[in-house]
Amino acid sequence: MANNRNKYHKSLTRTAKSILIIAFLLIENALIYSQSFDPIDTPLFEFALVPQSQRIDEKPFDVSKLEYFSDMEDLGELSIKSKIITMCKISPNFGQIAGISIRLEPENVTYIPGYSLRDRYYIQSSWLSGPQLDYSIITEVNLNELDLLPCVYNVYTNFFLIGFLYFKSSKPIQHTIRISKDQLEILSQEKENQESGISYDIINTFKNIDKKFWRVSYKGRITDSLRRGVELNNVNLYLEISDEYKKIGSSPFRC
């Protein structure tokens, strides 16, 4: 009888311990689950537009010298080749990893045959490990790398924190911007003659004195606003002669 009672008490003890462990795990998971949905404060975002002239040389530039705005809509004219800088101050604690997430969603875009437009585009900052106090985190938004179409976009920016077994995110801030097509430019491929000091342009005319005629020379290079060569499949080149335009070249132009 004594042995049976001991076995019974041991069985009850094991059962009680199992119940306590299960209860502890359930409470812990519930706390972690509820903590993941605790809202965090949204930092103050600022936005700046990098001038294309500073990007052509591909040299490092000081982001602190850019003009920042609290609203992305105040950046002015944006194109599919623009570069936007976002900046805000965050303070992750010890054991936390923080970052910035940006999402672009096109609105009322015109479909182009053969072009695949996504429903949304994501940009994420680099990871920042705590502890940090009022750290200015920079996120570069290179629109020229997203293969966008010109249209209106809704932009959502938010701040997130990752800790041990939880994820927190601030409420996204929405901005609406219009992204236009890029401005193309034709640059001369002629180099200045050092001996004569003559500088040639994109289109030049040369007079043949002996045979009494003019020769027209086109030495141009079509580029985007970043001075990168582009390929065009629907371009014709005309020259004005005696108040009339004469076609002297046609697409495709490869640069």
Using the 3D structure, point to which of 180, 199, 232 is the last residue of a domain: 180
3-state secondary structure of 25: helix
β-pairing, 68-69 vs 97-107, is unpaired
CATH, residue 147: 2.60.40
For residues 16 and 221, the model is more confident at 221
Number of domains into which the chain is organized: 3
Provide the pLDDT for residue 12.
45
Please state the separation of Cα 117 from the chain's center in Å: 15
150 shares a domain with 65: yes
Count of residues making up the chain:
255
96 shares a domain with 63: yes
25 shares a domain with 98: no
Host domain of residue 83: 46-180
80 shares a domain with 22: no
For residues 207 and 86, the model is more confident at 86
pLDDT in tens, 93-130: 898 899 999 999 998 777 777 777 788 999 999 999 98
Q: Are 255 and 219 in contact (CB under 8 A)?
A: no
Model pTM score: 0.72
140 shares a domain with 58: yes
Q: Is 109 exposed, middle or buried (0-12, 13-18, 19+ CB in 10 A)?
A: middle
